[in-house]
Amino acid sequence: MKIKILFISIAFIFSVNAKIEIHQEILINGLKVIIVPMKSNEVVRLGIVYNVGSADDPMCKIGLSHFLEHMMFKGTKTHSGPQFKQLLDKYSMYTNATTSQDYTVYFHSLHKDFLETILKLEADRMINLKFDNKDVESERNVVADERNMRCDSDPEGRHIADTIQRAKYLHSNYGINAIGYPQHIKNYSKKALIKHYRKFYKPNNATIIVVGDVSITEVVDKIKATFNRITVSSEAVKRNRVLDPTDLNLKHSIERSSDQIKRSTIEFIYTFDRKHIDSLRKMFTLDILNICLGANRRSILYQELVEKKQAVYSVSSGLETPAFDKCFFSIFAHMKSENDDKNVEKQISDIVNNLIPTYLTKELFEKVKNTIFESQDLLLDNPGDMFLYIINTAIALGYNLEDVKNLKEIITQITFEELQKMAKEILIENNKVCRIYIHPDEEASKYKDQTN
Amino acid sequence: MNRKLLIILTIVVVLLSYFCFQKISGGYEPDIEFKNLQLNVKEIQLNGGFKPIWFSKTENPAVAIEVVFHNEGARSFKDTPGILKLTVSTVLSGSKKYSEKEIHELFIDNNIDLSLESDSDDLMIHIYTVSKNFELAINLAEEVFSNAIFDNKKLKIQKQKIIENYNQARFYGDYIADQELSKLIYGEDHPYYEGNIDYVIPKIQKYTQNDIRLCYGKLLVPKDATVTIAGNVDETLIKKCFTNMFNNLSRIKKNNFKEVIQTAEIKNPGKIIHKELDTSQSTIIFALPGILRDSNEKFAYVFVNEFLGGSSVAFNNKLFKEIRDKSGLAYAIGTEISNRDMSSVLFGFAKTAPENVGKLIEKTKEVIKKTAEEGLSNEDLKYYKICKYSRQPMETCKDIVSFLSKCRFNNVKLTEINSYPFNYYKLTVEEVNKVMKKILNVNNMVFVDCGKTVLEAK
């Protein structure tokens, strides 16, 4: 999903026909504000992003940020839980929140007339959240149920996401999924919640994003009127992250088989250093590489493995670029049952190892760049995509919005040689750190897992 | 000294209170007035006796199109389960003019997002593209759909994939519960019940290229198709492109699928079925008889659904409040009205730990019974009206097409579109409570739970 947003949002930024503004400023209390006015039938996307995610959670309480996200809907000292939720439902067409490993976002889709009301509700829960014992206990069960739904009840992926995440990040908190483990969920306390909330939920640790049918000055005035009254009594939070060591050179092979699994899949994960995304130019070069390799039916992997060789049912590639620590490039294939995993692995490796000069051609590169340019108009129809793009780039990865405004030149200047260089540096055997093979096994009742 | 200390202490307490409890001036709750929609929708008549197109012109340089071929869904293929799925998943594997690769390259290079989907009742084409590529998109759609060749090798691969997916579905609570509920409320002979997986898979295995081509010959018949478009496109171009496409399809496509009769009743009221499945989370779905779509009580029915478990008031519907918020029994819980042609049953769903299934079912019944007894107050009704109908989210062309499509499904006239939400807005509390008492009868509920618990079937 992230790569798709970046891909289509590149085009959006340098639209030829419409002038797009991105306004940003920082309030006196440190709150960052980003506003993007665009036509959207009087609908506005509003979000507030806090720089806190599960990778900031205390040990043995991973998922606390996510749990806190749930508690943010339970009421404040000024509005009881039912009142708060009633107001959200009344003035917001759609409202929700999400917690990743690096940030927590509360977002709304609303009519522009009610922007002020929702801003006030956000300000209220930023500083006045209440923590009722009964709410904490009932929400604990809800979160446990959510964990069960997302991670533990899937017959194919049951628990395996935890194993894969830990294989990718041995030491850091990125190695645990944002929702935490069941035993962590049991361990959350009201005291820990309050401490976490007071540490991270403040204006100098947050960004407000507004996209849609608005005027910049009006929105800035409303935000200032609401949030400037919130004073800050401590410095901005410094995120203390334990990074994974880069010299271990560990390789993981995870195999899962069961009589409850009826489809075979295989995945390869390559690691790469953050230096490959330390500028927007490099980030978009990486995006182009991903599109060329596996993002759609025109991609190299799809054409070779699905169309020509008919070796697999489907194949795709993807990126994982957290705010800190190393990044990952993955290739995923849905295998045919009669295919041997080693054979599929060899075929994928043959393609990846011979990307240059055989598969990654200048012609393909130019086509992908051209598609990006051509898709610009679609983005003018969708403020939601712009909203996500801002979060994924400026917030999650910390790119300067001034660079975003010059994106057209950046994309135009990316050369084929840069793309080749990136492919040569990232997609090498030595960087392949994880192999995950999930397949049926009629002899294995329940699950048989092997990790090496 | 004591006085000074007292003053200092007072100042400290005041400052501490200020920092600990900064009041954001609440109570800013602007009134929300009801407004009619401002959609500019017109009909475009096509040459050839086809239904008129509904078109809403917008300023954004994109266009969204939905074409619905009625009665061409899975229910029209009851005797050949799975054939529609197989046909739809293979149709873009090549045409007379373009190979599969060429088709997808054309879509990608021109930013055309085109898909063919089927559900129980209908077949739908969805297209989303930049305005300037509208004509190209329609012409491409016409070529690939009129001249699909169904490569035999690709058919075999798709068949294998679909069979694997069905085999995998045996272990997913959602699929099992849904199939069991369909069987329970409609009966095994009903077109909405596809059949047991062990019945469907051997059928799919036997379908040949000829079977697929015969099936496809009955699909995409334009005679009764409805087209809805929103975007920045010229009307003359729309008329030209669709007249051309529909006339070409009419020459090669025929079927005799019939309209069907809607029902709001369910068989086996009061029954609870348990399906054993080795999983850490149970899936529960339930159903209640509803109100027919063409009844004059349908607006009140929609409100009852929202009040009970609908998504317009996601945090404030009864089931969310009682089962999730207060009891912590489920993360996922809600209700919706079936949008199937032959059914307007009220469905509900929940997921919970196996040990909580019994509690959840009892609590759900308790909430429904109490809701029916207490009914909606005037305050409640006013609130729900505001939440659902004071404004409609129409951010993108796709949102507009989706809304207009629902209007067509509900037989709303063109002249009534902008004032359509007012039908809900003018409801009285008496009208809503009357329907609530009629529908929310726990003795008529059926439950299916799929998971590790054991529940005595009643």
Which single residue is written with the structure tokens 């489809």? A263
| Residues B169 and B278 reside in one and the same domain | no
Domain of B167: which CATH number? 3.30.830.10
Query: Measuring CA to CA, which residue among A268, A66, A261 is closest to residue A167?
Result: A268
Please list every residue in chain B whose beta carbon sits closer than 8 Å to the beta carbon of residue A371.
108-109, 111
B183/B63 same-domain check:
yes
pTM for the whole thing?
0.91
What mean pLDDT do residues A157-180 have?
A: 89
Number of domains comprising chain B: 2
Which helix (H) or strand (E) segment holds residue A38: the answer is none
Average pLDDT over residues B260-283: 91
**What would the mean pLDDT of B282-306 be, rounded to a whole number?**
93
Per-residue pLDDT reduced to its tens digit, B194-213: 999 999 999 999 999 999 99
Per the domain annotation, does B12 fall within a domain? no
**Pair (B123, B159) in one structural domain:** yes
Q: Do A298 and B105 touch (CB under 8 A)?
A: yes
B187 & B63 share domain: yes
**Which candidate in A147, A222, A377 is best for mutational testing of the B interface (most B CBs within 10 A)?**
A377
Which pLDDT score is estimated for A10? 38
> What is the Cα–Cα distance from B38 to B421, expressed in whole angstroms?
12
Q: How many C-alpha atoms does B190 have within 13 Å on its Cβ side? A: 23
Answer yes or no: same fold for A30-227 and A252-451: yes
Q: How far from the centroid of its chain's Cα atoms is residue A54's Cα? A: 13
Q: Which of A75-79, A94-98, B291-295, B297-301 shows the lowest mean pLDDT across its residues?
A: B291-295
Boundaries of every domain in chain A: 30-227, 252-451
B154 band by pLDDT with thresholds 50, 70 and 90: very high
Q: Are A267 and A331 in contact (CB under 8 A)?
A: yes
Using an 8 Å Cβ cutoff, are B351 and B299 in contact?
Answer: no
Looking at residue A328, what DSSP letter applies?
E
* Interchain CB contact of B393 with A (< 8 Å): yes
Is the CB of residue B109 less than 8 Å away from at least one CB of chain A?
A: yes
Distance to chain B for A354, nearest Cα, Å: 22
The ipTM (two decimal places) reads: 0.89
Q: Is A144 on the interface with B (CB under 8 A)?
A: yes
> B232 and chain A: CB distance < 8 Å anywhere?
no
**Whole-number Å distance between alpha carbons of A273 and A288:** 18
Q: Under an 8 A CB cutoff, do B101 and A127 touch? A: no
Residue among B320, B417, B437, B323 nearest B374 (CA): B437
* Residue B239 forms part of a structural domain: yes
Look up residue B174 and give its two tokens: 């959602």
Instruction: Please indicate whether, in this complex, the C-beta atoms of A233 and B101 are within 8 angstroms of each other.
Output: no
Q: Give the residue, A60 or A420, on which the prediction is more confident.
A: A420
Residue B33 domain-assigned (yes or no)? no
Assigned CATH for A30-227:
3.30.830.10
Region B252-274 average pLDDT:
89
Gap from A153 CA to chain B (nearest CA, Å): 5
- Determine the pLDDT at residue B13: 64
Question: Is B35 contained in some domain?
Answer: no
**Is B66 within a domain?**
yes
For A366, counting Cβ atoms within 10 Å of its Cβ (0-12 exposed, 13-18 middle, 19+ buried), the class is exposed
**β-sheet bridge partners, residue B451:** B276
Confirm or reject contact between B2 and chain A (CB < 8 A): no
Tokens matching residue A290 = 């991903």
Element (H, E) at A273: none
Query: Chain B within 8 Å of A324 (Cβ-Cβ)?
Result: no
| 3 state SS for chain B | CHHHHHHHHHHHHHHHHHHHCCCCCCCCCCCCCCCCCCCCEEEECCCCCCCCEEEEECCCCEEEEEEEECCCCHHHHCCCCCHHHHHHHHCCCEECCCEHHHHHHHHHHCCCEEEEEECCCCEEEEEEEEHHHHHHHHHHHHHHHHCECCCHHHHHHHHHHHHHHHHHHCCCHHHHHHHHHHHHHHCCCCCCCCCCHHHHHHHHHHCCHHHHHHHHHCCCCHHHCEEEEEECCCHHHHHHHHHHHHHHHHHHCCCCCCCCCCECCCCCCCCEEEEECCCCCEEEEEEECCCCCCCCCHHHHHHHHHHHHCCCCCCCCHHHHHHHHHCCCCCCEEEEECCCCCECCEEEEEEECHHHHHHHHHHHHHHHHHHHHHCCCHHHHHHHHHHHHCCCCCCCHHHHHHHHHHHHHCCCCHHHCCCCCHHHHCCCHHHHHHHHHHHCCHHHCEEEEEECCCCCCC
A113 touches chain B (CB under 8 A): yes
Which positions in chain A touch B377 (Cβ < 8 Å)? none
Whether the bond into B52 is cis, omega within 30 of 0: no
Specify if B222 maps to a domain.
Answer: yes
Among A145, A160, A233, the residue to mutate for chain B (most B Cβ within 10 A): A145
Q: Which residue in B24, B32, B160 has the most chain A C-beta atoms within 10 A of its own C-beta, making it the best mutation to test that interface?
A: B24
| Whole-angstrom Cα Rg for chain A | 23
Cβ neighbours of residue A95 closer than 8 Å, sequence gap 6 or more: A88, A89, A106, A107, A108, A109, B314
Residues of B in contact with A77 (CB under 8 A): 21, 23
**Same domain (yes/no): B223, B301:** no
- Domain interval for residue B416: 272-451
Residue at B435 is within a domain: yes
Contact B330 A142 (CB under 8 A): yes
What was the pLDDT predicted at B355?
A: 92
Distance CA B394, CA B398 (A): 8
- Cβ distance B288 to B345 under 8 Å? yes
Is B284 found in the same domain as B240? no
With 60 as the cut, is the pLDDT of residue A85 above it?
yes
Picking from A20, A21, A24, A27, the residue whose alpha carbon sits closest to that of residue A223 is A27
Cβ-contact B267, B288 below 8 angstroms? no
Cβ-based burial of B28 (10 A; exposed 0-12, middle 13-18, buried ≥19): middle
Domain end: B252, B284, B315, which one?
B252
**In terms of CA atoms, which chain A residue is nearest residue B92?**
A297
Flag the least confident range among B2-6, B333-337, B422-426.
B2-6
Is residue B26 within 8 angstroms of chain A, CB to CB? Answer: yes
**Residues B244 and B355 reside in one and the same domain:** no
CATH number for region A252-451: 3.30.830.10
d(CA B187, CA B180): 10
- Quick one: average pLDDT of B405-420? 91
Cβ of residue B230 closer than 8 Å to a chain A Cβ = no
Give the number of C-alpha atoms closer than 13 A to the C-alpha of residue B307, restricted to the C-beta side: 30
Cα–Cα dist A1/A82, whole Å? 34
- Of residues A86, A263, A297, nearest to B383 (C-beta): A86
Percent of chain B with pLDDT over 70: 94
Whether the predicted pLDDT of A42 surpasses 90 = no
Which residues 265-284 on chain B approach chain A with CB closer than 8 angstroms?
278-281
Three-state secondary-structure class, residue A277: helix
Domain check: are B186 and B304 in the same one?
no
Q: Which chain A residues are Cβ-neighbours of B329 within 8 angstroms?
A: 141, 145
Assess whether B179 and B65 both reside in one domain: yes
Asked if A68 contacts A78 with a C-beta cutoff of 8 angstroms, the reply is: no
Using a CB-CB cut-off of 8 Å, the residues of chain B touching A261 are 168
Inter-chain CB proximity B281 and A90 less than 8 Å = no
Contact A87 B100 (CB under 8 A): no
Give the closest-approach CA distance of A370 to chain B in angstroms: 8
Q: Do B283 and B137 lie in a common domain?
A: no
Lowest mean pLDDT among A327-331, A418-422, B313-317: B313-317
> Which residue, B252, B280, B296, sits at the end of a domain?
B252
The pLDDT, as a whole number, for residue B319 is 97
Residues of chain B in contact with residue A296, where contact means CB-CB under 8 angstroms, are 104, 108
| Min Cα separation B336/chain A (Å) | 17
Q: How far apart are CA A281 and CA A412, in angstroms?
A: 10
Contacts of B137 in chain A (CB under 8 A): none
pLDDT beyond 50 at A327: yes
Is A95 in a helix, a strand, or coil? strand
Q: How far apart are CA B90 and CA B100, in angstroms?
A: 10
CB contact under 8 A, B331 and A149: yes
State phi, psi for B347 to the nearest 5 degrees: -105, 155
Say how many residues make up chain A.
452
How far is Cα A93 from Cα B20, in angstroms, rounded to an integer? 32
Task: Specify which residues A255 forms β-bridges with.
Answer: A437, A450
Element (H, E) at A436: strand A432-440
**Euclidean distance between CA atoms A141 and A147, whole angstroms:** 10
Task: Give the model confidence (pLDDT) of A376-393 as tens digits.
Answer: 667 677 888 889 888 988
Question: Which pLDDT does position B351 carry in this prediction?
Answer: 96
Instruction: Assess whether B284 and B211 both reside in one domain.
Output: no
Question: What does the pLDDT look like over B225-238, one tens digit per residue?
Answer: 999 999 999 999 99
Q: Is B167 on the interface with A (CB under 8 A)?
A: yes
B395·A114 Cβ contact <8 A: no
Residue B250 near chain A (CB below 8 Å): no
Taking CB atoms and an 8 Å limit, are B321 and A82 in contact across chains?
Answer: yes
- Residues of A with Cβ-Cβ distance to B22 under 8 angstroms: 127-128, 229-231
Torsion of CA A228, A232, A236, A239, to 10 degrees: -110
Which residues of chain A are within 8 Å of residue B321 when distances are taken between CB atoms?
A: 82
Mean pLDDT, range B179-194, rounded to an integer: 94
Same domain flag for B363 and B420: yes
Degrees, nearest 5: CA angle B58-B61-B62: 85
Which residue of A77, A87, A93 is in closest CB contact with B21?
Answer: A77
Tell me which residue in B280, B383, B395 faces A148 most closely, judged by beta carbons. Answer: B280
Amino acid of residue B287 = A
**Spatial contact of A167 and A452, defined as CB atoms under 8 Å apart:** no
In this structure, are residues A325 and A174 in contact, taking their beta carbons and an 8 Å threshold?
yes
A 380-399 residues with CB < 8 A to B: 380-384
- Residue B23 at interface with chain A, using a CB cutoff of 8 Å: yes
What is the predicted pLDDT for the residue at A385? Answer: 86
Helix (H, G, I), strand (E, B) or coil at A207: strand
**Cβ-defined contact of A262 to B167 (cutoff 8 Å):** yes
Closest residue by Cα to residue A134 from A184, A194, A71, A65: A71
Please give, rounded to a whole number of angstroms, the shortest distance from the CA of B137 to a CA of chain A.
14
Model pLDDT for residues A254-299, shown as the tens digit of each residue: 999 988 999 999 999 999 999 999 999 999 999 999 999 999 999 9
* Closest-approach residue (CA) in chain B for A159: B280
> Which residues are paired to B64 by β-bridges?
B128, B230
Q: What is the pLDDT of residue B16?
A: 61
3-state secondary structure of A437: strand
